[in-house]
Structure 1
Amino acid sequence: MKSSARAVVIGGGVVGASVLYHLAKIGWRDVLLLEKSELTSGSTWHAAGGMHTFNGEANISRLQKYTIDLYREIEAASGQSCGLHPNGGLMLAATPGELDSLKLICSRARYLGMETEMIPLAEACRLNPLIDPGYFIGALWRADGGHCDPSGTTHAYVKAARVLGAQVERFTRVLALTARRDGSWDVVTDKGTVHAEHVVNCAGLWAREVGHMVGIELPVLAMEHHYLITEDLPELEGRDREIVNTTDYSGELYVRQERGGALIGTYEPNGVVWSPMETPEEFSMQLLPEDFERLAPYFEVGFRHFPALGRVGIRKAVNGPFTFAPDGNPLIGPVRGVRNYWVACAVMAGFSQGGGIGLMLSRWMAEGDPGQDIISMDVARFGAFATPKYTSLKVPENYSRRFRLAYPNEELPAARPVRRSPIYERLKAAGAVMGANFALEQALWFAPPGVAGAETPTYRRSEAFPIVRAECRAVRSAVGLYETTNYGKYEVTGRGARAWLDRVFASRIPKPGRFALAPMLNPAGRIVGDLSIACLADDRFLIVGSGFAEEFHLRWFSASEPPPDVSVRSAASTLCGFSIAGPKSRELLQKLVRLDLSPGAFKLFDVQQTAVGFAPAMLTRAGFTGELGYEVWITPDYFATLYYDILAAGHDLGLTHFGGRALSSLRLEKAYGSFNKDFRPDHTPGETGLDRFVDFSKSEFTGRSAALAERAVGAKRRFVVMEVAEADAEVVGYESIMKEGVAVGYVTSGAYGHCVDRSLAAGYVPAELARDGARFEIDILGEMRTATVRLQALYDPQGLRLRS
């Protein structure tokens, strides 16, 4: 075994093999894969090998398409067959909600270049004659579905990597990982030590243990998963092609052909966690005992929906463990505080996603950036809250819902509440219906007295629609109160703080007593943060941004190497906040402060440390509603007291609580984009319109060269807000924007604008088409609806109310 390598990949499943291949392909030939047993051992060897391109996240769909297209390449490079069966896919709907979901998938697929079509049930039965159409009301066909041979595919990756110079050591157990001062690693194995510049944890079932070697707790857990293979089916005899791989949402199962029979698998409720404390070292190519008694009710559903399966015997039963993250997506990327240590684990859909994950991770390692937004797969989407207990509750919940549709207004209950602000119970008493953001409870909307704080999961307007309308109109007409504790908050202090921030952010850094909107770019000139900076003193700043991206931004700040005299720390647990917004917000707040809040004395984007009621606070004149407004930041010990002070001060002014749903509506009426929805690392300052906040006169900031290059030629696409012909549903996200039958753009977010009486959609279209009044079409749940670009905000386009 070699004694050094540029990168060591730990784990020889399909993901580790893909990472090895892509590192070698990108030019890192000095790479080594270590596998403690045989290649494919653990989960890969017993996988069903399904492959498809559909995912609720557009970029993950793109990576899945890349993965499937890649198989012909690695077959040619390696001479090894992947055992491809590109027979397409069917998705079956049994309820109106499921049918809406399939229509949404069709709308999204157009812009992604994926061939899908809603088809009659008779056509679905022709493609899969095992279906009993009496249980279903609709079907979607997709060209990309199929399955492959797990062993052949993994060996194709490895053989192709070896052709490029990569090496593999099987039956080599990693015992320890020891960091050197320069950030490199000593990888200690039972066959000797390898010195590596980088280490990649692709250890699958053992990813948790390889995380422990460097002192981190990865949120991964293994679940038992069953599938059955039937004896030969008469219905399949004489067919000139295989049946189409089929997903049955109502039955929560999948069916495909396996030689002359069928393979049927289920993601059952009340799934069984496997080896929750520690993965056995000796586990390798074993299966787990079948549990037919527990699973019989779920497979019986399959035998009803596909009755031919119940008329033949079972040839083989497979029960094997697979690892999941709490939300079911993979864990990819670098880990904050651990240099040159990378993860690519919890990849349940390895034969749909493995190739794309290898591509993204190899780019990230070699170039410092994955090349596109993958925040929904990024390990940094979880913070310290993702403890083993949290993982143990969320993973089974996610497993049981793997083939159950997720509605956009649905909040899942497991491991809730975990993080709560000091006024959580008080907001609940006020009717708050809660969601979770980075595991912190936040109010979505407020049920009035006597109204149930619940809504039917749906893609269409829910029972909350008129309640959110009332919240929005109260903010616009009087004053509203919104808790901002869920925002990401970071304190930057020290003599060198201003100079460091000037390098990290593309904007001008504000002077003491001022507040500024501040985009943050990566070296490729793409948006990695849409934040705000408040300057309290020349050596003290508060940065505020998306709460979901807290760990993502902390990792970015760390990678930006603050000098020794600069401290950067999260203020998530040390600061709570309120937004007070509306034309009467000044009148309310003036009752609680001695500071003169008149327009000339406390201007837009002013910042002041002052007492608000009993509470020492930081007060800013800012907000996200487009109304006159203020944000108040205080320590948790004063938070409940200030809450009651605000309620008392606003009692005669019509003060109303409002939640995240109302805020989404209010911001879109003002054409404000939101990070992680509208602005992501796929987008540039010119595309988003954030270039107006970029200070191009600065001699240096991350992404400056790329931003200047874009400014010289102009952005190719543009973020716009459109008013959409009204029906009973708004856009969800990623729907295709159509022009003369061609998909030219895509939706990023949407809401009903309750104060402009318009359905609103935000998204990206080609710059040359982004004209005021330009008309497009958006397929919303199967109905083509006209969408008209409005380059000015539909509400208060001159911003007079914000500046009042």
Structure 2
Amino acid sequence: MKSHVRVAVIGGGVVGCSILYHLTKLGWTDVALIERKELTAGSSWHAAGGFHALNSDPGIAALQSYTIRLYKEIEALSGQDVGMHMTGGLNIAATQARWDFLRADHARHRVLGLETELLGAAEIKALCPLVDTTDVLGALYDRNEGHVDPSGATHAYAKAARMAGAEIYRHTRVVDLKPTGRGSWHVVTDQGTIEAEHVVNAAGLWAREMGAMVGIDLPLIPMEHHYLLTDDIPEVMALGKDELPLILDLDAEIYMRQERGGMLVGVYEKDATPWAVAGTPWDYGDTELLPPQLERIGDALVKGYARFPAVAAAGIRRIVNGPFTFAPDGNPLIGPVRGVPNYWSACGVMAGFAQGGGVGLSIAEWIINGEPSTDIFAMDVARFGPYASEAYVIERASEFYSKRFVLAYPNEYWPAGRPAKTDVLYDALKSRRAVFGVSYGLEMPLYFAREGEEAVEIPSLKRSNAFEAVAAEVAAVRDGVGVLDACSFAKYEVSGPDAAGALDRILACRMPSIGRVRLAPLLSESGRLMGDLTVMRTDETRFLLFGSGYLQTWHGRWFDQHLPADGAAFRNLTDELAGIHLVGPKARELLQSLTRADVSAAGFTPFTVRRIDIGLVPATVARLSLTGELTYEIYVAANQGRVLYDAILKAGEAFRITDFGVHALNSMRLEKGIGIWSREFSRDYTAGSSGLDQFVQFAKDSFVGRDAALCERDTPSARRLATFAVDASDADAAGYEPIWRGTEMVGFVTSGGYGHRVGHSIAMGYVARDALAHADGFEVSILGERRPARLLDAPAYDPSGARARA
């Protein structure tokens, strides 16, 4: 065993071996993998081995496509047969909702670079004679789906890595991880100790144990999962050398692929079964399975077999019940772990043979280059926070498992693990008929149901039952005054004698003077966006920063990495401060009735922040607007938030004040063409392409990403963020639908919705710059149908911005 390596990868499954290979591919060969038993021991060896590129998240879809392309590369490099079967795959729909969903996905796949087809019943039957298509409406077909041999694929990664100089230590168990004090780690094993500059936790079923060694609780839980191998089926045997495609039939709750002369049949039972809740036994065997529990999957099999009668008639050759790990949302947990320098998570990769190559690439890029080449926030370990307790993880992961085949609507929030967190206004808002969603574990009001309506939003691909209630909220804000619970916004403090200098180096904007507010792009060294923050300077050495609530760990990790060790301290104040926004033309009159401070147009100008008393409550108040209406953002100590809210409601009676929620906020920001994180802004975009370059202070001597931003300024990006008015009847764009001009796809949607003040649908998206010379002739795909669209050269609502400046 070496005494020192640059990276020690713990875990010899497909993910760990892929990371090892990619480290060597990017030039780091002084690396080692440590496996407690044999390669693939744990979950990889008993996986079904299926792969597909389809995913609703574009970053994950890109990595899955990369993984599929990679198999032939590692097979050629290593000489190890990966057992690749490129059979194609069918995703079958037997309900109208599922068919609408697949049609919408088919349109999005053009944006993601995936070549899929929509097939009718006869075409499905020709590809898979086993299907009873009596009630089938259609299917989505992807030629680039199939399966590999799990052992062969894992060993191909490992062999290619070894050939490039990597070390692999089998039958070597890590028993402790100790920081050296030099930024590196002592990896203590039962065969000796090795010092590693970086440690990657790819330990699969034992990832929780590897996390506990460094004092972290990774939000993971192993779940039991069944699949069956059937006896030979005459209809399959009759195919000869032809091979059936992968089958995913979510309405029948079954997935299948051919296995020799029979079929591999898998289900996700409704009663999900967490395994080894207290911890995975260290002596769990290399090829050990769990006892089968056929009674748990019987109902699902009956439903699935009705669609595949030939499979129902076959005998069962083998039953596999093996554990694999789930995060609460089913996506992997990868990336650097905040507060634990040079410790990386690469676990919870449920679909290891679809995602393992992409995960390996991303981790290697992140370690070596400082960031991955694709936006993978949907996989980032930083998407969860302290609210993700063990009980929460078990509830949420079990729910995800049990609903693996349930159609997930874009406006749907599942109930498990809720409420995990509530703010000080929750009870009051609930009594006022609030319908809640959740962000970063915190309940947030989506809209307020009207009297006589059930306070539940019905999931839908089209405009939901919330439409009229949201319209009423927007109208109330436009004509009078509305109050928004903004507690879910992230709120940070950076303070200290070097706070101004440190932030000037981290943020791309010009630093605000005392009492002023600025919009602050946060860039990586490559010029890609890392955040869209609002920065307020309350005094010489103190700044408040505001951003998306679900990025708290993500942003905290970034500031930890970039702030100096002394002179500037970062604090997350999100739970310490309550946020309330007063919005609308009567907001000033209402606020003035509660304070002696001058909040007039002249006394409190836009982009100003002040400390004032509102009623009995000391508050930080800023004037800026996400809605296009006159807005005062108010932040107070959390334990005074309810007092302030009650005072506002009482005073607001004279102004017919109305609560409004996130849905109304989204409608209004679309009408103003204002982007938000994870939609218009993400790691995939730059300041120049997103329009945030208007807030970049290029004249500063130095800030993170300056060189890349200057380069983009001199050579503009090929695409630019734009806003469209869309002729749509009962549905709106949601994201990643194509934008067409004639026969050419010129861009894609990032977000969409209905603009209640302007009376039409709106979509924002990235469009080729040369197409922006035209105003008309555009179309936007909505639920698979092209709808006429018109490019807007100014915000749809109040283009002059007079109402917000009033």
* TM-score computed with the length of structure 2 as normaliser: 0.99
Alignment partner, residue 345 of structure 1? 347
Question: Is the deviation greater in 763-772 or in 438-447?
Answer: 763-772
Q: Any idea what SS the aligned residue of 2:550 has? A: coil
Deviation track 1:40-99 (CA, whole Å, cap 9, x = no partner) reads: 000000000010001110111010000000001000000011101111111111211111
Equivalent positions of 1:365-384 (< 5 A) are: 365-384=367-386
Alignment partner, residue 119 of structure 2? 119
Question: Counterpart amino acid of 1:275?
Answer: A
Alignment partner, residue 670 of structure 2? 668
Deviation track 1:492-534 (CA, whole Å, cap 9, x = no partner) reads: 1111100000000000111111111111100001110101011
In 1, the alpha carbon distance for the partners of 2:169 and 2:575 equals 46
In 2, the alpha carbon distance for the partners of 1:256 and 1:42 equals 22
Equivalent positions of 1:674-689 (< 5 A) are: 674-689=676-691
Alignment partner, residue 241 of structure 1? 242
Report the Cα offset of residue 744 of structure 1: 2.8
Alignment partner, residue 92 of structure 1? 92
Deviation track 1:332-376 (CA, whole Å, cap 9, x = no partner) reads: 100111111001100000011000011111010001011221111
In 2, the alpha carbon distance for the partners of 1:456 and 1:192 equals 58
The answer to whether the 8 A contact 1:752-1:760 is kept is: yes
Deviation track 1:128-167 (CA, whole Å, cap 9, x = no partner) reads: 1111112322211111111111000000001111111111
Q: Any idea what SS the aligned residue of 1:333 has? A: strand
**Residue 194, structure 1, aligned to residue 209, structure 2:** no
Report the Cα offset of residue 742 of structure 1: 3.3
Equivalent positions of 1:594-605 (< 5 A) are: 594-605=596-607
In 1, the alpha carbon distance for the partners of 2:195 and 2:398 equals 38
Report the Cα offset of residue 779 of structure 1: 2.0
Alignment partner, residue 256 of structure 1? 257
Report the Cα offset of residue 115 of structure 1: 1.1
The answer to whether the 8 A contact 2:105-2:784 is kept is: no
Alignment partner, residue 153 of structure 1? 153
The answer to whether the 8 A contact 1:36-1:170 is kept is: yes
Equivalent positions of 1:23-102 (< 5 A) are: 23-102=23-102
In 2, the alpha carbon distance for the partners of 1:298 and 1:675 equals 39
Question: Is the deviation greater in 752-761 or in 556-565?
Answer: 556-565
Deviation track 1:650-674 (CA, whole Å, cap 9, x = no partner) reads: 1121211111111111000000000
Question: Counterpart amino acid of 1:111?
Answer: V
Q: Any idea what SS the aligned residue of 1:402 has? A: coil
* TM-score computed with the length of structure 1 as normaliser: 0.99
Q: Any idea what SS the aligned residue of 2:606 has? A: coil
In 2, the alpha carbon distance for the partners of 1:745 and 1:21 equals 35
Question: Counterpart amino acid of 1:242?
Answer: E
The runs of 4+ residues in structure 1 deviating greater than 6 Å are: none
Equivalent positions of 1:577-656 (< 5 A) are: 577-656=579-658
Report the Cα offset of residue 776 of structure 1: 2.2
Alignment partner, residue 468 of structure 2? 466
**Residue 574, structure 1, aligned to residue 581, structure 2:** no
Alignment partner, residue 223 of structure 1? 223
Alignment partner, residue 317 of structure 2? 315
Alignment partner, residue 801 of structure 1? 803
The answer to whether the 8 A contact 1:178-1:185 is kept is: yes
Report the Cα offset of residue 182 of structure 1: 1.5
In 1, the alpha carbon distance for the partners of 2:793 and 2:203 equals 49
Report the Cα offset of residue 451 of structure 1: 0.8
Alignment partner, residue 275 of structure 2? 274
Q: Any idea what SS the aligned residue of 2:799 has? A: coil
Deviation track 1:682-729 (CA, whole Å, cap 9, x = no partner) reads: 111110111010001100100000000000111211001111111211
Q: Report % sequence identity.
A: 49
Question: Counterpart amino acid of 1:187?
Answer: V
In 2, the alpha carbon distance for the partners of 1:742 and 1:90 equals 27
Q: Any idea what SS the aligned residue of 2:549 has? A: coil
Report the Cα offset of residue 679 of structure 1: 0.3
- Aligned pair count reads 804
Report the Cα offset of residue 562 of structure 1: 2.7
Residue number among 773, 782, 788 corresponding to 1:786 in the alignment: 788
Q: Any idea what SS the aligned residue of 1:718 has? A: strand
Report the Cα offset of residue 640 of structure 1: 0.8
The answer to whether the 8 A contact 1:9-1:201 is kept is: yes
Report the Cα offset of residue 740 of structure 1: 3.0
Alignment partner, residue 419 of structure 1? 421
**Residue 553, structure 1, aligned to residue 530, structure 2:** no
Question: Counterpart amino acid of 1:14?
Answer: V
Q: Any idea what SS the aligned residue of 2:709 has? A: helix
Report the Cα offset of residue 772 of structure 1: 5.5
Question: Counterpart amino acid of 1:797?
Answer: P
The answer to whether the 8 A contact 1:111-1:744 is kept is: no
In 2, the alpha carbon distance for the partners of 1:359 and 1:637 equals 46
In 2, the alpha carbon distance for the partners of 1:430 and 1:499 equals 45
Alignment partner, residue 532 of structure 2? 530
In 1, the alpha carbon distance for the partners of 2:583 and 2:57 equals 33
Which structure 2 residue ranges, 5 or more long, are not aligned? none
Deviation track 1:150-207 (CA, whole Å, cap 9, x = no partner) reads: 0000000011111111110110000000001111000000000001111000000000
The answer to whether the 8 A contact 1:717-1:765 is kept is: yes
In 1, the alpha carbon distance for the partners of 2:468 and 2:260 equals 54
In 2, the alpha carbon distance for the partners of 1:729 and 1:345 equals 37
Equivalent positions of 1:6-17 (< 5 A) are: 6-17=6-17
Report the Cα offset of residue 774 of structure 1: 4.1
In 1, the alpha carbon distance for the partners of 2:777 and 2:507 equals 36
Q: Any idea what SS the aligned residue of 1:133 has? A: coil
The answer to whether the 8 A contact 1:106-1:118 is kept is: yes
Report the Cα offset of residue 769 of structure 1: 1.3
Q: Any idea what SS the aligned residue of 1:559 has? A: helix
Equivalent positions of 1:135-214 (< 5 A) are: 135-214=135-214
Alignment partner, residue 289 of structure 2? 287
The answer to whether the 8 A contact 1:772-1:790 is kept is: no
Deviation track 1:574-599 (CA, whole Å, cap 9, x = no partner) reads: 10111111111101111111111111
In 2, the alpha carbon distance for the partners of 1:203 and 1:44 equals 11
In 2, the alpha carbon distance for the partners of 1:475 and 1:617 equals 22
Residue number among 501, 504, 508 corresponding to 1:502 in the alignment: 504
Q: Any idea what SS the aligned residue of 2:70 has? A: helix
Alignment partner, residue 410 of structure 2? 408
In 1, the alpha carbon distance for the partners of 2:442 and 2:157 equals 41
Question: Counterpart amino acid of 1:130?
Answer: L
Alignment partner, residue 110 of structure 1? 110
The answer to whether the 8 A contact 1:771-1:789 is kept is: no
Residue number among 281, 295, 305 corresponding to 1:303 in the alignment: 305
Alignment partner, residue 338 of structure 2? 336
Q: Any idea what SS the aligned residue of 1:673 has? A: coil
Report the Cα offset of residue 429 of structure 1: 0.7
Deviation track 1:9-29 (CA, whole Å, cap 9, x = no partner) reads: 000000001000000100000
Question: Counterpart amino acid of 2:205?
Answer: L
Question: Counterpart amino acid of 1:258?
Answer: E
The answer to whether the 8 A contact 1:81-1:152 is kept is: yes
Q: Any idea what SS the aligned residue of 1:569 has? A: strand
Alignment partner, residue 493 of structure 1? 495
Report the Cα offset of residue 386 of structure 1: 1.0
Question: Counterpart amino acid of 1:588?
Answer: L
In 2, the alpha carbon distance for the partners of 1:69 and 1:203 equals 25
The answer to whether the 8 A contact 1:771-1:791 is kept is: no
Q: Any idea what SS the aligned residue of 2:633 has? A: strand
In 2, the alpha carbon distance for the partners of 1:139 and 1:646 equals 54
Alpha carbons of 1:771 and 1:649: their partners in 2 closer, same or farther (altered >3 Å)? farther
Deviation track 1:548-577 (CA, whole Å, cap 9, x = no partner) reads: 111100000001033412110100111011
Residue number among 412, 415, 433 corresponding to 1:431 in the alignment: 433
In 1, the alpha carbon distance for the partners of 2:269 and 2:135 equals 19
